[in-house]
Amino acid sequence: MRDVGPRARPAQHSRRARSARRPSPDGRRPDPAASRRRDSATAGGCPDRTGAWPRGCGRDAAVLGRSCVTGAALILLGAGGHARVVADLARMAGWRIAGFVDPGRPVGEVIQGAAVLGADFTENADWMRDCFMIAAIGENVVRRREHGRLIAAGARVPALVHLSAAVSAFATLEPGAVVMAGAVVQAGAWVGAAAVINTAASVDHDCHIGEAALIAPGATLCGGVRVGALTLIGAGVTVAPNVRIGRSALVGVGAVVVDDLPDDARLKPWRRKTAKKGTAR
């Protein structure tokens, strides 16, 4: 038998080969963080110049893209409970909260470490030039109105995803959309501008969530559901597959929807009557 000698170690797997990367122009070793930023950008993990997450951006892409927005300044329109939750998830995702804009709050009031800057985002041109902005208002109609004002003014409006949310790489989030903690958005789903997928809500494959709609905590939308603009799906609601719900509809807490609903529909679930405290049930 012919002696072929010691088995050669492939160069590409050697420690020396791995470390022999082309140095940067200043002679330093390549910056791994810079490589990750390039990778995330090519993977669709960063918002475009308008702040929109492109198609193909889900939770993984959003996490990869954190380095692209880490430290970027964000101003929130609104300073209520909804805004505080949005600010919290944005901060965890790497944004710097530059402040809040709310006509109902005194200028200078500090909320979660950030100040109220004014009553309207148009008061200071530097805000729009230096910061991203998002309408963080719980009421659908007002949120849509303020989002429209931001877009008309040329503001950069991002979509925001909580780090614990599971958003498919094949779902689409439009500018101003927010996906809260523990929510799920599956492949093929489309979440419209300024829409909110609230805490632990589930939006299954091929759902279409209209502009400024709100899917409340714990709601479950089965595959192929379409929800119109400005519609509110209440907490704990279950919507059967392929059901269509019109615009500006209201589906009450805990309802089960198995048939289509028209525009402006009001669906209140059956409620069990409970006795007052201290009386027999």
Query: Stretch 5-9: mean pLDDT, rounded?
Result: 41
- Note the pLDDT of residue 46: 39
Q: What is the DSSP string of 195-263?
A: -EE-TT-EE-TT-EE-TT-EE-TT-EE-TT-EE-TT-EE-TT-EE-TT-EE-TT-EE-TT-EE-S-B-T
Q: What is the pLDDT of residues 46-104, one digit of tens each?
A: 344 444 443 333 333 333 233 335 579 999 999 999 999 999 999 999 999 999 999 99
Instruction: Delimit the domains of the chain by residue range.
Output: 67-152
Q: What is the pTM of this model?
A: 0.75
Q: How far, CA to CA in Å, does 5 sit from each of 8, 13, 16?
A: 9, 19, 22
Cβ proximity of 136 and 152 under 8 Å: no
- Note the pLDDT of residue 207: 99
- Note the pLDDT of residue 205: 98
Query: Stretch 113-120: mean pLDDT, rounded?
Result: 96
Q: What is the pLDDT of residues 137-188, one digit of tens each?
A: 999 999 999 999 999 999 999 999 999 999 999 999 999 999 999 999 999 9
Q: Give dist(CA 34, CA 267) in Å, integer.
A: 51
Q: Tell whether the model's pLDDT for residue 11 goes beyond 90.
A: no
| The dihedral formed by the CA atoms of 115, 118, 119 and 125, expressed in degrees to the nearest 10 | -130
Q: In this structure, which topology does domain 67-152 adopt according to CATH?
A: Rossmann fold (3.40.50)
- Note the pLDDT of residue 16: 40
- Note the pLDDT of residue 71: 79
- Note the pLDDT of residue 271: 59
Q: What is the pLDDT of residues 181-230, one digit of tens each?
A: 999 999 999 999 999 999 999 999 999 999 999 999 999 999 999 999 99
**Who wins on pLDDT, 27 or 224?**
224
- Note the pLDDT of residue 269: 82
